[in-house]
Amino acid sequence: MKRKSIGILLVLTAAISWGVSGSVAQFLFTQKQFTTGWLVCVRLLTSGAILLLYLGLTKNPDIWNIWKRRASVINILIFGLLGMAGVQFTYFAAIETSNAATATLLQYLAPVLIILYTAFNRKAIPPFQHIFGIFTALLGTYFLVSAGNFSTISIRPEALAWGLSSAFFLALYTLQPAQLLKDFGSTVVVAWGMVLGGLGMSFIYPPWKTDDGIFSFSSILAIVFVILFGTLIAFFCYLESLNHLEAAETSLLSCAEPLSAAFLAIIWLKVPFSIFEWIGAFFILTTILLLSLKRKNMERKLAEKTI
């Protein structure tokens, strides 16, 4: 029980840190005039450099092996430049054009895209629980973007586009590096992915150009929070939780991310959230729970077969 309690605390810390960092990023965009490109570039470069430094100091033998195979080089470049940079940029752009709560909820449509891709790839119809999950996700999105005004879309078109793009890139981020993770481990892959994504974005959004942003004690504190708590600490807590909990339990508890993002955006940033948007949020969270419970049942059956 103590081990499980530690795991629950770790995954909740990770999920809440991710959710809160979204609201902190919204604060930087709306009140301090920082841009999405600059913040994502600095976040990726700094976090990736710290992770690589940590791996170097702990003498991890796999830190350079990823560059010794042609296939892994191609895959890590795709992961860093498209997966890592893509999901970070589109998510923060969705926050900048809407708010942290809406952006996080739209990003959580990624499991639906993963289900559709898997079904197409296997040429098989998804199980009923997955189909029902797709229905609740689409219904939730409809309520979220209409806010009860069913004749028009209440969310800005660019915000909806960035949010759906974020879901797509999150699906790519999840599916594409499977072999890399198996060969080199998540820490090495994520560290190089962050550095490559940050370097790629530096050509478009140089980190030394901060003409628009307002630097103050609060903004510097917010930037540090996004880098340390919203990236490094959240990442390590999430990975460590897998040593104490089943993967399905971890994914279930990670639902705290959109809830914390919504709660903080409403309380701190005074983002209006209507009853219909809450209904949409409920349906999207239901989708996450359905898909996570499905995976948990599959893991339990597999364990029973091996006993």
pLDDT in tens, 220-275: 999 999 998 888 888 778 767 766 766 555 555 666 666 676 677 667 767 666 78
Question: Would you say residue 268 lies in a domain?
Answer: no
Q: What is the pLDDT of residue 157?
A: 86
Q: What is the pLDDT of residue 213?
A: 86
Q: What is the pLDDT of residue 143?
A: 72
Q: What is the pLDDT of residue 239?
A: 65
Least confident of 1-5, 10-14, 157-161: 1-5
How many distinct structural domains can be found in the chain? 1
Question: Would you say residue 181 lies in a domain?
Answer: yes
Q: What is the pLDDT of residue 238?
A: 73
Q: What is the pLDDT of residue 1?
A: 60
Type of residue at 138? L
**Is the sign of the CA dihedral 256, 260, 263, 265 positive or negative?**
negative
φ, ψ dihedrals at 83, nearest 5°: -65, -60
- Indicate whether 112 pLDDT > 70: yes
- Indicate whether 295 pLDDT > 60: no
Average pLDDT over residues 184-202: 91
- The residue segments making up the domain with residue 54 are 40-98+177-203
- Indicate whether 306 pLDDT > 50: no
Mean pLDDT of the chain: 80
The answer to whether 106 and 144 are in contact (CB under 8 A) is yes
Question: Would you say residue 186 lies in a domain?
Answer: yes
Q: How far apart are CA 49 and CA 230, in angstroms?
A: 15
Q: Residue 157: CB partners within 8 Å, gap ≥ 6?
A: none
Question: Would you say residue 56 lies in a domain?
Answer: yes
- Indicate whether 302 pLDDT > 50: no
The answer to whether 295 and 272 are in contact (CB under 8 A) is no
Q: Model pTM?
A: 0.78
The answer to whether 111 and 295 are in contact (CB under 8 A) is no
Token reading at 169: 């890139």
The answer to whether 94 and 170 are in contact (CB under 8 A) is no
First to last CA, the chain: 22
Question: Would you say residue 78 lies in a domain?
Answer: yes
Type of residue at 32? K
Question: Would you say residue 167 lies in a domain?
Answer: no
